[in-house]
Structure 1
C-alpha cells in the first residue's frame, strides 16, 4: 500500500515536470505607453468616407491620429489595441460608447511612431481633443 502511494506521488511529479517543460508560455497583455498624440486631415485619397448611424450614411471628416508608442517589454508586441477618448470642440464625444479606436499590428521594442485613421461626423466642430490614449498587445502572434 505504501509503495503504491509513493509510486503515484513520483508519477504525478514527473507528469508535472514534463508539463512545465513542454507547455508553451502563456500570452499575456503587454501595456504600451502612447505619447505625443496629435492629428491631421487625411490626404485626399483617404478622405472619402461616411459615418454610419442607424443604417444612414452621413458626411464624414477623415483624420489621421499620430503619436509615439513606447514598448518597454524588450520583445515585439503584436495586435496592440489602441484605446482613447476623442471629443469635439464642444466637449462632445465623437465616438459614442466606443473607446477602442483601432490597433497597431506590430510594436518593436523601444519607441516607434504609429498612426491611425478615424472618421468623424462632418458636423462635429474642431479642434478635436484626444484624451486617455493607451494600448495593449501580445508578445506572440495571436491566431484568429
Structure 2
C-alpha cells in the first residue's frame, strides 16, 4: 500500500513537472494610451463600401481615424485591439453595441502614429465625435 502511494506521488510530480516545463509563458495585456484623435474621408480607392446589418445594405461613408499611440512598456506590443465610441452630430452612436473598432498589428515602444478605417452609415450627420479611445495588446505575438 505504501509503495502504491509513493508511486502515485512520483507520477503526479513527474506529470506536474512536464506540464510546468512545456506550458508557454503567459502573455500579459499591455494598455496603450491613444491621443490626438482626428478623422478624414478615405481616399477614393478605399471609399467604396457599405454597411450591412441583418441582410440589408445601406450606403456608407468611409473615414480614416488617426492619432498617436503611447507605449510606455519599453517593449513592442502586438495585436493591440482599439476600443472607443464614435457618435454623430446628434450624439447618436455610429456603431451600435460595438466598442472594438479595429486593431494595430505592432506598436513600438514610445510614441507612434496609427490609422484605422471605419464605415459609417451615410444617413448619420457629421461631424463625428471620437470618445474614450484606448488600446490594449500583448507582449508577444499571438499565435493562432
Q: Which residue of 1 aligns with 2:31?
A: 31
Equivalent pairs, count: 137
Distance, in Å, in 1 between the alignment partners of 2:98 and 2:52 is 14
What is the Cα deviation at residue 25 of structure 1? 2.7
Gaps of 5+ in 1: none
Distance, in Å, in 2 between the alignment partners of 1:136 and 1:58 is 31
- Give the TM-score normalised by the residue count of structure 1: 0.85
What is the Cα deviation at residue 26 of structure 1? 1.2
Question: Structure 2 vs 1, CA of residues 39 and 24 (structure 1 numbering), >3 Å: closer, same or farther?
Answer: same
Work out whether 1:105 is the aligned partner of 2:110: no
Distance, in Å, in 2 between the alignment partners of 1:122 and 1:23 is 49
Q: Which residue of 1 aligns with 2:43?
A: 43
Gaps of 5+ in 2: none
Distance, in Å, in 2 between the alignment partners of 1:27 and 1:134 is 19
- Give the TM-score normalised by the residue count of structure 2: 0.85
Question: Structure 2 vs 1, CA of residues 56 and 23 (structure 1 numbering), >3 Å: closer, same or farther?
Answer: closer
